[in-house]
C-alpha cells in the first residue's frame, strides 16, 4: 500500500522537475529523496520520469499518476480536517432525545438556537422519547444528549444536570364547580377525576406526583392517561377531568380550561440534561450551553 508521504515526495519532485529543489522544498536530503522516488517506481512497475541531466520530466504514466496522487492527497487532507473539526466539536452530527416538558419550558429551543449559531457545521437530530428510553439509548450510544424528567437511580457513566424548573398549575374544565372558586382548599381535590401523563413512561415520576398530592391533602383519581401535556389540556377542555400542567403551558391552554395556582403543592416540573461521560466534543459543547 502506498504511504501518503511517498506520494507527497513524488508530487514535489514532479512539480519542481528537479530533485534538489524538491528536497529543499520538503526539507529532506537529496540522495534519500532520489532513492525514495526510485523505490516508488519499482513498487509500481512504472517509469514515472524521463531523467535528463538537470531536469526530470514526467512520462505519460507519470502525468496520470500525478493527477491521482494529487487527488488522493487532497482527499486525505480533507479527511484530516474533518476529523480535527469533529474533535473540536465543530462538525458531525448530534443525536438528542427530549421530553415535551423541555420544549414547553423553552430550554431546548434556547440551547439549540445558541448551539447552531456557535457551531453551524454540526447537524442535529431530535427524537421525542420517554426519559427511561433516553437513558438506555445514552448508555448504548444511540443518543449523544438527553433531556429527561427523572434522573436514573444509578447514574454511573453519565453526566446529569438540572436545566429547567417551574411550578405546576391546576387545569380545571370551565364547567366544573371548582372553576368558579378562586380560593379553594386543596383537600377539595380529593377523589376528583384526574388526567395524567402515562405511568408506563415514567413510573418514578408518577409515584413522586402522587406523594406530592397526598402531602398537599388530596389523592387524585387518575382515570385517563396521555402521552403529551398538550393532549392533556385538550382533554381538560373537553371536561374529562382535572390535571396538573407545568406553568409554561398556561399560554397554550385552549378555551374551556381554567388555570389555578397551587402555592402549597411541593412538587415542581424539572427537566434534566444527560450525556455520557464519553460523549463526543459536540455533545460536551451543547451540554455546557445547557448549563449556562
Domain that includes residue 204, residue range: 164-269
**pLDDT digit string (tens) for 200-224?**
878 888 999 999 999 999 999 999 9
Residues 95, 286: Cα–Cα separation, whole Å: 11
The proportion of the chain whose per-residue pLDDT surpasses 70, expressed as a percent, equals 97
Question: Is residue 139 located within the same domain as residue 280?
Answer: yes
**pLDDT digit string (tens) for 26-71?**
899 988 888 988 988 888 888 999 988 778 889 999 899 999 989 9
Residues 12, 250: Cα–Cα separation, whole Å: 69
Residues 43, 201: Cα–Cα separation, whole Å: 63
Give the residue from 37, 65, 87 where a domain finishes: 87
Question: Is residue 238 located within the same domain as residue 277?
Answer: no
Residues 232, 228: Cα–Cα separation, whole Å: 7
For residue 76, what is its C-alpha cell?
A: 486525505
Question: Is residue 58 located within the same domain as residue 133?
Answer: no
Question: Is residue 228 located within the same domain as residue 103?
Answer: no
Question: Is residue 46 located within the same domain as residue 189?
Answer: no
Q: Does the predicted model carry a pTM greater than 0.75?
A: no
**Reported confidence tier of residue 291, pLDDT bands at 50, 70, 90:** confident
Question: Is residue 140 located within the same domain as residue 124?
Answer: yes
pLDDT the model gives residue 89: 65
Q: Which residue is listed with cell 437530530?
A: 125
Q: What is the CATH number of the domain that holds 119?
A: 3.40.190.10
The proportion of the chain whose per-residue pLDDT surpasses 90, expressed as a percent, equals 52
**pLDDT digit string (tens) for 73-90?**
888 877 777 777 666 666
Among residues 176, 178, 180, 171, which one has the least CA distance to residue 233? 171
Above 90 in pLDDT, residue 255? Answer: yes
Based on the structure, what is the number of domains in the chain? 3
Name the DSSP letter for residue 291: H
Average model confidence (pLDDT) across the chain: 90
Query: Strand pairing partners for 50?
Result: 57
Question: Is residue 81 located within the same domain as residue 105?
Answer: no
- Give 167's Cβ-side CA count (13 Å radius): 11
Residue 283 neighbours by CB distance under 10 Å: 23
Question: Is residue 174 located within the same domain as residue 248?
Answer: yes
Question: Is residue 116 located within the same domain as residue 44?
Answer: no
pLDDT the model gives residue 169: 94
Angle at 198 between CA 195 and CA 200, to 5 degrees: 150
Name the DSSP letter for residue 285: H
Question: Is residue 80 located within the same domain as residue 115?
Answer: no
Query: Strand pairing partners for 164?
Result: 271
Question: Is residue 152 located within the same domain as residue 192?
Answer: no
* C-alpha distances in Å from residue 174, one per residue of 160, 169, 187, 244: 39, 15, 20, 15
Question: Is residue 253 located within the same domain as residue 205?
Answer: yes
User: Are 225 and 199 contacting, i.e. CB atoms less than 8 angstroms apart?
Assistant: yes
Amino acid at each position: 500500500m502506498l504511504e501518503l508521504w511517498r506520494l507527497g515526495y513524488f508530487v514535489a519532485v514532479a512539480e519542481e522537475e528537479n530533485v534538489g529543489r524538491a528536497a529543499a522544498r520538503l526539507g529532506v536530503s537529496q540522495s534519500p529523496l532520489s532513492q525514495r522516488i526510485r523505490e516508488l517506481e519499482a513498487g509500481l512497475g512504472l517509469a514515472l520520469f524521463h531523467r535528463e541531466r538537470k531536469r526530470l520530466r514526467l512520462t505519460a504514466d507519470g502525468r496520470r499518476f500525478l493527477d491521482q496522487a494529487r487527488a488522493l492527497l487532497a482527499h486525505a487532507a480533507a479527511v484530516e480536517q474533518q476529523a480535527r473539526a469533529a474533535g473540536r466539536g465543530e462538525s458531525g452530527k448530534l443525536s438528542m432525545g427530549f421530553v415535551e416538558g423541555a420544549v414547553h419550558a423553552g430550554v431546548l429551543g434556547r440551547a439549540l438556537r445558541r448551539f447552531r449559531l456557535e457551531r453551524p457545521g454540526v447537524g442535529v437530530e431530535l427524537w421525542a422519547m420517554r426519559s427511561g428510553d433516553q437513558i438506555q439509548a445514552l448508555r448504548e450510544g444511540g443518543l449523544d444528549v438527553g433531556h429527561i424528567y427523572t434522573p436514573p437511580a444509578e447514574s454511573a457513566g453519565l453526566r446529569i444536570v438540572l436545566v429547567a424548573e417551574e411550578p405546576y398549575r391546576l387545569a380545571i374544565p370551565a364547567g366544573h364547580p371548582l372553576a368558579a372558586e378562586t380560593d379553594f382548599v386543596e383537600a377539595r381535590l380529593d377523589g376528583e377525576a384526574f388526567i395524567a401523563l402515562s405511568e408506563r413512561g415514567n413510573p418514578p415520576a408518577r409515584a413522586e406526583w402522587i406523594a406530592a398530592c397526598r402531602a398537599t391533602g388530596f389523592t387524585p383519581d387518575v382515570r385517563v392517561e396521555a402521552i403529551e401535556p398538550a393532549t392533556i389540556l385538550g382533554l381538560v377542555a373537553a371536561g374529562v377531568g382535572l390535571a396538573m400542567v407545568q406553568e409554561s403551558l398556561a399560554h397554550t391552554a385552549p378555551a374551556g380550561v381554567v388555570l389555578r395556582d397551587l402555592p402549597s403543592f411541593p412538587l415542581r416540573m424539572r427537566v434534566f440534561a444527560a450525556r455520557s461521560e464519553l460523549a463526543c466534543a459536540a455533545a460536551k459543547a451543547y451540554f455546557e450551553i445547557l448549563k449556562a
